[in-house]
């Protein structure tokens, strides 16, 4: 039996089990991640975050992310903020801006004195091969909106990669949007070879949206950082949101603030909080 130290954290209710893989040995492939994710018999989390040593002197840390179903994914915005808060609070770095390696590139979290964390999430990508996404026959690869068949209904989605795949749907109201029904159908859709996160966006005005996200491998969560980024990017491209202006994204767990200028990196600002520390044996 091994003893593993961990920290429970959350970003707007999107919760994480965070493990320091630098000061202790941890092999996620040999761990019962789905059991730990279970909220009745385990720690309970949407994602597990693993802090590892960097593979290059040019970066500070490596960052791995595992969903509640045990699958490894490329990126997590709320997790990135918690990651930054964790490595500072644990004394693993004294930097306020951290260079972090992920499966899909470099991110740059920065801690502010007010406790919020800003993360440079990099540039969004739109081409089908970058998401990945398979357009229907006859659809332009660079179309702003693609049609997805859900049952007998064609649903318009905007496809964005924020290091992980997102399908954004504009709805009249997030309260009445068929989040579970369409989320369950679109997340494993054959046109998304690596599955997809599904965002339901209600535009309040040109600088404020409401958002619910059905996450790949986790179901609907209280907040999704990359989903908030993808929704704002899609809204700007569709002419629904103002470019060069910070957009307030209201999620079930609280608000994030996203800014993006076409061609630039996406900036995300929000909180990261520690819930408790613990140990388990496996």
* DSSP per-residue codes, the chain: --EEEEEEEEETTEEEEEEESSSS---GGGS-HHHHH-TTTS---SEEEEEEE-SSTT-SEEEEEEETTS-EES--HHHHHHHHHHHHHTTS---SB--EEETTEEEEEEE-TTS-EEEE----B-SGGGTT--PPTT--TT-S-EEEEETTEEEEEEEEESSSEEEEEE-S-TTTS-HHHHHHHHTT-TT-TT--EEEEEEEEETTEEEEEEEETTTEEES--HHHHHHHHHHHHHTTSS-TTS-EEEEETTEEEEEE--TTS--EEEE--EEEEEEEEE-
Q: Burial, 42: exposed, middle or buried (Cβ in 10 Å; 0-12, 13-18, 19+)?
A: middle
Query: How many other C-beta atoms can be found within 10 angstroms of the C-beta atom of residue 173?
Result: 9
79 annotated as ligand-binding: no
77 annotated as ligand-binding: yes
- Which domains, from first to last, does the chain contain? 3-120+272-281 (3.10.310.10), 128-264 (3.10.310.10)
Residues with a known catalytic role: 76, 224
14 annotated as ligand-binding: yes
215 annotated as ligand-binding: yes
> How confident is the model at residue 252, as a pLDDT?
96
Residue corresponding to tokens 């990261």: 272
Distance in Å from the first CA to the final CA of the chain: 5
| Token duo for residue 52 | 């590892």
| Token duo for residue 144 | 């702003």
Which ranges of the chain have pLDDT less than 70? Answer: none
The 10s digit of each residue's pLDDT in 257-269 is 999 988 899 999 9
Q: CA-CA distance, 228 to 243, in Å (whole number)?
A: 15
| Phi, psi for residue 256 in degrees, rounded to 5 | -115, 160
> How confident is the model at residue 19, as a pLDDT?
98
């Amino acid at each position: 039996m091994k003893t593993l130290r961990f920290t429970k954290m959350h970003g707007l209710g999107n919760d994480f089990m965070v493990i320091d893989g630098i000061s202790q040995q941890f092999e996620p492939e040999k761990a019962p991640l789905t059991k730990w994710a279970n909220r009745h018999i385990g720690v309970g989390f949407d994602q597990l975050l693993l802090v590892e040593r960097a593979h290059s002197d040019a970066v500070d840390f490596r960052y791995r992310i595992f969903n509640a179903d045990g699958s490894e994914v490329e990126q997590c915005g709320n997790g990135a903020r918690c990651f930054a808060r964790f490595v500072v609070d644990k004394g693993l770095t004294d930097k306020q801006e951290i260079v972090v390696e992920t499966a899909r590139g470099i991110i740059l979290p920065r801690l502010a004195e007010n406790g919020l964390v800003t993360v440079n999430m990099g540039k969004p990508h739109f081409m089908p091969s970058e998401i990945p996404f398979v357009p229907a026959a006859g659809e332009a690869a660079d179309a702003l909106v693609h049609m997805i068949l859900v049952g007998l209904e064609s649903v318009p989605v905007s496809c964005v990669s924020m290091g992980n795949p997102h399908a954004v749907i504009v709805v009249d109201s997030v309260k009445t949007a068929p989040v579970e029904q369409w989320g369950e159908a679109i997340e494993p859709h054959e046109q998304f070879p690596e599955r997809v996160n599904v965002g339901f966006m209600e535009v309040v005005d040109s600088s404020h949206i409401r958002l619910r996200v059905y996450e790949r491998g986790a179901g609907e969560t209280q907040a999704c950082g990359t989903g908030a980024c993808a929704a704002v990017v899609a809204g700007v491209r569709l002419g629904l949101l103002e470019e060069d202006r910070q957009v307030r994204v209201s999620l079930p767990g609280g608000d994030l603030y996203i800014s993006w200028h076409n061609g630039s990196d996406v900036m995300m600002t929000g909180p990261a909080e520690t819930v408790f520390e613990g140990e388990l044996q496996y």
